[in-house]
Amino acid sequence: MTKIIQISDPHIVPHGQLAYGRVDTAPPLAECVATINRMLPLIGPIDMAIVTGDLTDFGTAEEYRRFRDIMAQLEVPYQAVPGNHDIRDAMRAAFSDQDWMPKTGAINWRHDLADLTLIGLDSTVDGASHGHLTEATLAYLREQLSDLKGRPVIVALHHPPFLTGIEKMDIQNLRESRPLAEILSAYTGELKLICGHVHRNIVSIFGGVVCQIAPGTSHAVSMDQRIGAPNCLTKEPGGFLLHEMRSGLVTHTIPIGQFDGPWLFYSDARE
């Protein structure tokens, strides 16, 4: 049974700095890694992890080094797609020693696992916050899905293609929702779309498939659906997702941290 962990939006900044002047983002990512490692005997083995963008806050080499230093503790191999806070070529340079990182062009990749394939797509635009899939990336997705012939697939990209009702995030969402929906809805096998960017756990049906946005590790976009609401962050508890292939794809949301318990529900033999 294939199991994949999704971590999203860690927004790592240089030592001594805070993201947005408020959030110390490195310790929550380290705690996320520690939470996953602690849970491995209970939920493992895990085949791989994916980070769905905004690995860093400004895409500097120093931030990528710090990100990799923290993630080096993770006892699961990982791959990543860029988010709007990443810089494509800086990210490429930071992971140039990794087989999955393309040498040129968009950071698109495919990884086949035992009973599931993971496809990563680059939805970033240089110097802009919104999401965009180039013709080449859409063609790449079409080709991979055609080749997979109905095998279960997870497609990962940073920008969600559906509206969440959080206006300041919705204006940054993926511009190519329609062609993406057409491609996904034509696939004959089980397919799930996974995203980041909104730092909240949100699920929708998109193009006939389930699409899920993962929570961030350190901070969330505020849940404020008023028209004209300011773009705010809150320090809600961080989390990550576990996607696993059972009789179909199942996703668990797991909070980061250590909590009281576990305790038996009953001290006698009842269940």
Task: Give, in order, the Cα–Cα distances in Å from 261 to each of 258, 264, 265.
Answer: 9, 9, 11
* Beta carbon nearer to Fe ion, 187 or 206: 206
Residue pair 109/119 in contact (Cβ under 8 Å)? The answer is yes
* Beta carbon nearer to Fe ion, 108 or 218: 218
Candidates 80-88, 90-98, 108-116, 130-138 — which segment interacts with Fe ion by CB under 5 A? 80-88
Task: Give, in order, the Cα–Cα distances in Å from 258 to each of 45, 127, 233.
Answer: 20, 38, 23
- Angle at CA of residue 157, ends 26 and 221, nearest 5°: 50
DSSP state of 96: T
Among 28, 83, 161, 215, binds Fe ion (CB under 5 A): 83
Distance CA 81, CA 53 (A): 5
Among 110, 111, 197, 200, binds Fe ion (CB under 5 A): 197
**Segment 240 to 259, residues that bind Fe ion, using CB under 5 A:** none
Tell me the closest approach of the beta carbon of residue 214 to Fe ion, in angstroms.
10
Candidates 23-31, 51-59, 203-211, 259-267 — which segment interacts with Fe ion by CB under 5 A? 51-59
Q: Confirm or reject binding of residue 9 to Fe ion (CB under 5 A).
A: yes
Among 79, 84, 177, 222, binds Fe ion (CB under 5 A): 84
Q: Confirm or reject binding of residue 200 to Fe ion (CB under 5 A).
A: no
Could you count the other beta carbons within 10 Å of the beta carbon of residue 68?
15
Q: Confirm or reject binding of residue 47 to Fe ion (CB under 5 A).
A: no
Candidates 78-86, 119-127, 180-188, 246-254 — which segment interacts with Fe ion by CB under 5 A? 78-86
Tell me the closest approach of the beta carbon of residue 54 to Fe ion, in angstroms.
3
**DSSP secondary structure of 155-199:** EE-SS-SS--S-HHHHTTSBTTHHHHHHHHHT--S-EEEEE-SS-
Binding mask 202-241 for Fe ion (x = CB under 5 A): ----------------------------------------
* Beta carbon nearer to Fe ion, 197 or 243: 197
Tell me the closest approach of the beta carbon of residue 171 to Fe ion, in angstroms.
13
**Segment 120 to 179, residues that bind Fe ion, using CB under 5 A:** none
For the chain, how far is it from start to end, CA to CA, in angstroms? Answer: 26
Sign of CA dihedral 70, 72, 73, 79: positive
Residues near Fe ion (CB under 5 A), total: 5
Tell me the closest approach of the beta carbon of residue 216 to Fe ion, in angstroms.
6
Q: What are phi and psi of 117, to 5 degrees?
A: -115, 140
Residue pair 15/57 in contact (Cβ under 8 Å)? The answer is no
Residue type, 249: L
Measured in whole angstroms, the distance separating CA 65 from the mean position of its chain's CA atoms is 19
Among 2, 6, 54, 57, binds Fe ion (CB under 5 A): 54
Residue type, 52: T
Candidates 76-84, 147-155, 237-245, 247-255 — which segment interacts with Fe ion by CB under 5 A? 76-84
Given the rule CB under 5 A, which residues bind Fe ion? Answer: 9, 54, 83-84, 197
